[in-house]
Amino acid sequence: MILKGRKVMGGYAEGEALVSAEPVSFYGGVDPVTGYVTEPGHCCCGENITGKVFVFPTGKGSTVGSYVIYRMKKLGTAPAAIINVETEAILATGCVISDVPLVDKLDRDPLKVIKNGMKVKVNADEGVVEVID
């Protein structure tokens, strides 16, 4: 399945999908040292995003979240790529300064067509996502 959307931060990555139906805050919601989602009550609490193609509606929270993504990249705990329904400025900034591919506004809702564990290839330069069942 090929999905087309908008490039927010270019690059290429592939990996296993981790899908969250809920917005994500990288500041206080993700442990940058381990890569685990730590926000109590979050649907992905206890899941590790390291090296995954992380799919979620949008970011939320403090501007410090941008720097958390940067720290994760330096520590090797960042996601391989991020796919959003619609991204926001904090997340976009974090991906730009960290060189994490980011796409959004796909022609199909990624939360409905991408499932946990699917292999996903993200060509953010072209705004193309390939989902392999």
Annotated active-site positions, please? 62
Q: CB count, 10 Å around CB of 108?
A: 15
- Asked if residues 113 and 1 have their Cβ atoms less than 8 Å apart, the reply is yes
For residues 95 and 78, what is the distance between their CA atoms, to the nearest angstrom? 10
List, in order, residues 6 or more apart from 72 with CB less than 8 Å away. 26, 30, 32, 35, 78, 79, 98
Query: How far is CA 60 from each of CA 84, 87, 105, rounded to the nearest angstrom?
Result: 12, 10, 17
Token readout for 17 is 């999908």
